[in-house]
Structure 1
Amino acid sequence: MSDAAPDVVPSARALLRERDYLLFWGSRWTGGLAAQIQSVAIGWQIYELARRTMSVAEAAFVVGMVGLVSFIPVFLLTLPAGETVDRYDRRRILLLCYAWELVTVGILVWATATGTASVTMLLCVAAAFGAARAFMGPTGTALGPMLVPRELLPRAIAWNSLAWQTASILGPALGGLLLARSTTLAYSTALCLYATAAVFIFLLRKNTQPVVNPGSRLALVKEGLVYVWKQKIVLGAISLDLFAVLLGGATALLPVFARDVLHVGEEGFGLLRSGPAIGATLVALALAANPIRSKAGLFMFFGVAVFGAATIVFGLSKSLWLSVTALAVLGGADMLSVYVRQTLVQLVTPDNMRGRVAAVSSVFIGASNELGEFESGVVARFLGPVGAAVFGGVGALFVTALWAKLFPALRKADRLE
């Protein structure tokens, strides 16, 4: 773009005229709220069950196992899912994902109400949800850009993140309150919210069938992998997120910190879980109102570095409010880097490849989140929860410095256009 080109950012009001986008946004919010309540309930319940027979370190390892079993189906299914998303109606795929989640959370309601829930059963359900997420992630990422004009895409991405983050504030806090009353009530609430999200997607009117590229399934999957490899900015952005969050995923140990480090119980646990989303929502609101216009790469590296530093502070904190503050800073920094990554990836990727590229990105993100939980559980087994958090924060800072050297094009990325 020449320097003389006008610097026009479409108003946020333009999104309010996009009916299908508003339904999609509502689905992301209600589905995100359900996922947060469910995640809080599973994490707390599995830790409670494990502590009946295990030490703190051993039970922390079991909590970390939730991440591993959730990631295995993501790793195995996401690339084929991406090809499926680029071949079939994306609205229908998303509806099937919600149907599967309704079945699995229904199992949690029944097992908890009847007292038959066990660590093994909860791990199996976590794996089943991982299978749904393998398809839901690429589908949602590829569907969103079909519902808005291209010039609204950067702002829509910010609002998409805002939907998730506001749900992530309310979800853990609400989950903690529901858990204090009944674990069955928490799961039942998630069930109703997933059903609402499915209704929103059912009401979409726009054509969500992608233009299908010719070629075999294997060839199309390979094409997506080659595209990501050649686009060094995309590769650098999603791999930076992978390794930084993989090492800095100490927030997976929040049940351990809530019960045996800070001693704040279920409601304190919900507050801790809300901490990252509070910071992320504030940053998402700022980005939705004022999208980044220059020095995008530097903003991303800054966000990851602050993420690592805040993780260290959280690990060393002995105060609930300092811990929540550190988590809020951590969440805001992560939101900044995620916004840059998602915008870069979606702007440079053609629509008929968005499913496959989103699938590759989902594998990286799934590895960072779920394997990050497992890594934190393993390190906590040997260093304790505090040592695991500090180790992860230092690792995230190291990755930030290394990636800034390995991917100069990402560091120098300027305008998100």
Structure 2
Amino acid sequence: MTQATLSALLAERPFIRFWLARLAAVLAQQMLMVAVAWQMYDLTGSAWDLGLVGLFQFVPALLLTLPAGHLVDKLRRGRIFALCMLVQSGVALLLVLATEGAFISRELILGLSILLGAARAFQMPSQQALLPMLVPTHLLERAVTLGSTGMQAGVICGPALGGLIYAAGPAWVYGVAGGLLLIAFGLMLSVHDPFLPSTEPTTLASVLAGVQFVWQNKLLLGATSLDLFAVLLGGATALLPIYARDILHVGPAGLGLLRGAPAAGALLMSLLMLRWPIQRQVGRWLLGSVGVFGLATVVFGLSEHFGLSLLALAITGAFDNISVVMRMTLVQLETPNEIRGRVSAVNSIFIGASNQLGEFESGATAALFGAVGSVVLGGVGTLAVAAGWFRLFPALARRDRMLP
């Protein structure tokens, strides 16, 4: 990114406030995930209950995302995002009160997990659909890249910060997270996005309009389904504890480094893309990056050397970030503003499903073929998907520039 381009992007004050709000939100959400999981395990000692925390967040997010996308297209997107921040700060405050008042329980944590999942169902499509309204079209790819930079920084720093604060007690983590979410809420109230209220009647067809639009637009279908299948097959996150303990023999400290390696690689790639954005052959870059992701997954699966494993995971994160930035930019550019919320909701479902089902797929194949066999087969499957998408979606493979 040239100095002039960076200066132009930083001059977009609504975007900068939105970027800071998202950074605060990611930090808070990562801290909440660490504290809630740790406190649940302290309360019950049950791995099953840890899984339920994730499930109770995923199910309402899955069920509500399409209706949320429709609402995002009818109301002010910035206000919806702000309300999501306020709801999540309320959850954090209730966790503080429950912890300090000694009425925290398994049932309360699971109930609040449902509320967190519902809030995030509205947060994801609103933040995705809002971004193109805050920056000029020619700055959109850089804005997406800068947003990815902040998100990866939050993913790296949030869990570490939450873990450090947890030493003083879970209530402190919830309090800091709640404060960050209130900061995000205040920042979003100052973001005045241009808004034209929709007069489209609410029907089943209008709620599903995003699904129909993606299905009919083969370029978007190829881009969104590429991420779904790549992460579904190639994700190795769920098996990292097995690698840390039984294959690499690095213990809990090594597991922390393994978990952070993809985000570190993604952060570095985001910084490189800010300086040198991809301007030509974007379709080949998108498909090629998924291929490299699959190849690095295979290397990680076969590696018995800790340094090589860290490098392979960092490469998966770096090239996955290329895919994410380019896919998100293409989705926003190819979608009319009046339907952007509903299309973003479809994209959110694909992302959520790939992450959650990917962990299940990894566990299921590991039970059949072992951890190494599961990861290697997933990486090979991702390579096959990248190659197959060249033939199935030629318009995507031939796309030269972001702007047609």
Shorter-chain TM-score bucket reads: 0.7 to 0.9
- Report how far residue 14 of structure 1 moved: 0.3
- In the alignment, is the contact (CA less than 8 A) between 1:172 and 1:270 conserved in 2? no
Partner of 2:272: 286
Instruction: State the alpha-carbon separation in 2 of the partners of residues 113 and 383 from structure 1.
Output: 46
**Sequence identity, in percent?**
48
Q: 1:64 to 1:255 in 2, by over 3 A?
A: farther
- Report how far residue 79 of structure 1 moved: 0.8
Moved more, 62-71 or 146-155: 62-71
- In the alignment, is the contact (CA less than 8 A) between 1:66 and 1:373 conserved in 2? no
Partner of 1:85: 72
Q: Deviations over 1:204-224 (max 9, x none)?
A: 2x2443441423342322332
Report the 3-state secondary structure (helix = DSSP H, G, I; strand = E; otherwise coil) of the residue aligned with 2:208: helix
Q: 1:334 to 1:196 in 2, by over 3 A?
A: same
Partner of 2:24: 30
Instruction: State the alpha-carbon separation in 2 of the partners of residues 214 and 124 from structure 1.
Output: 34
- Report how far residue 331 of structure 1 moved: 0.7
Partner of 1:394: 380
Segments of structure 2 that go 5 or more residues without pairing to the other structure are none
Q: 1:10 to 1:344 in 2, by over 3 A?
A: farther
Q: 1:264 to 1:165 in 2, by over 3 A?
A: same
Partner of 1:336: 322
- In the alignment, is the contact (CA less than 8 A) between 1:177 and 1:267 conserved in 2? no
Segments of structure 1 that go 5 or more residues without pairing to the other structure are 1-7, 54-58
Q: Could you say what the CA RMSD is over the residues aligned between the two structures, in angstroms? A: 3.0
Matched, 1:20 2:18: no
Partner of 2:92: 105
Q: Which amino acid aligns with 1:271?
A: L
Instruction: State the alpha-carbon separation in 1 of the partners of residues 155 and 236 from structure 2.
Output: 17
Q: Deviations over 1:51-75 (max 9, x none)?
A: x46xxxxx4x776655544332222
The match for 1:133 among 103, 120, 142 is 120
Moved more, 149-158 or 74-83: 149-158
Matched, 1:164 2:158: no
- In the alignment, is the contact (CA less than 8 A) between 1:95 and 1:202 conserved in 2? yes
The match for 2:234 among 243, 248, 258 is 248
Instruction: State the alpha-carbon separation in 2 of the partners of residues 116 and 378 from structure 1.
Output: 37
Matched, 1:151 2:168: no
Output aligned runs, 1:302-341, within 5 Å: 302-341=288-327
- In the alignment, is the contact (CA less than 8 A) between 1:41 and 1:183 conserved in 2? yes
- Report how far residue 99 of structure 1 moved: 1.8
Moved more, 30-39 or 155-164: 30-39
Instruction: State the alpha-carbon separation in 1 of the partners of residues 225 and 384 from structure 2.
Output: 14
Q: 1:386 to 1:103 in 2, by over 3 A?
A: farther
Q: Deviations over 1:255-285 (max 9, x none)?
A: 5555666565655444333211111111111
When normalised by structure 1's length, the TM-score is 0.85
Q: Deviations over 1:347-377 (max 9, x none)?
A: 1111111101101111111111222233334
Partner of 1:357: 343
Report the 3-state secondary structure (helix = DSSP H, G, I; strand = E; otherwise coil) of the residue aligned with 2:180: helix
Q: 1:295 to 1:403 in 2, by over 3 A?
A: same
Report the 3-state secondary structure (helix = DSSP H, G, I; strand = E; otherwise coil) of the residue aligned with 1:336: helix
Partner of 1:70: 57
- In the alignment, is the contact (CA less than 8 A) between 2:75 and 2:197 conserved in 1? no
Partner of 1:409: 395
Moved more, 394-403 or 351-360: 394-403
Instruction: State the alpha-carbon separation in 2 of the partners of residues 46 and 389 from structure 1.
Output: 29
Q: 1:35 to 1:413 in 2, by over 3 A?
A: same
Q: 1:107 to 1:248 in 2, by over 3 A?
A: farther
Q: 1:322 to 1:174 in 2, by over 3 A?
A: farther
Q: 1:24 to 1:122 in 2, by over 3 A?
A: same
- Report how far residue 239 of structure 1 moved: 0.5
Partner of 2:286: 300
- Report how far residue 194 of structure 1 moved: 1.8
Q: Which amino acid aligns with 1:39?
A: M
Instruction: State the alpha-carbon separation in 2 of the partners of residues 140 and 35 from structure 1.
Output: 15
